[in-house]
């Protein structure tokens, strides 16, 4: 019993070789950052749909006008993709065959 192996997991390096505590902190920060980015993008979309101009939004969020336009364009493209998929599925249900 005197030959037990004890691992201290707080200092055991991860696959990346990074300290697990630091890696965990980085991962948590990345999750928070991604959520904040998603919230910001949704707020930009909501402001635009409420009638705010792209330059006005850009000033309010301290971003460039092209960055705001990029977010809005990407959102529109995603909406178009969803609409096209819904239309495609609706067409398939009406008797056409899937390719």
How many domains does one find in the chain? 1
Q: 3-state class of 2 per DSSP?
A: coil
User: 67-88 as b/e, with b when 16 or more CB fall inside 10 Å?
Assistant: ebbebbeebeeeeeeeeeeeee
pTM of the model: 0.66
- Sign of the CA dihedral running 65, 68, 70, 72: negative
- Tell me the per-residue pLDDT of 59-91, one tens digit each, with 9 for 90 and over: 999 999 999 999 999 999 888 888 888 888 877
| 87 falls within a domain | yes
Task: Write the DSSP string, 22-59.
Answer: HHHHHHHHHHHHHHHHHHHHHHHHHHHHTT--HHHHHH
Domain that residue 45 falls in: 20-93
Judge whether 81 lies within some domain.
yes
Domain at 79, CATH number: 1.10.10
């Amino acid at each position: 019993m005197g030959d037990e192996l004890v691992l201290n997991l707080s200092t055991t390096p991860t696959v990346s070789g990074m300290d697990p505590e630091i890696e965990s902190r980085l991962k948590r920060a990345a999750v928070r950052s991604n959520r904040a980015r998603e919230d910001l993008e949704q707020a930009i979309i909501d402001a635009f749909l409420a009638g705010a101009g792209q330059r006005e939004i850009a000033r309010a969020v301290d971003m460039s006008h092209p960055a705001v336009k990029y977010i809005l364009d990407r959102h529109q493209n995603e909406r178009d993709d969803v609409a096209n998929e819904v239309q495609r599925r609706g067409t398939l249900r009406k008797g056409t065959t899937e390719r």
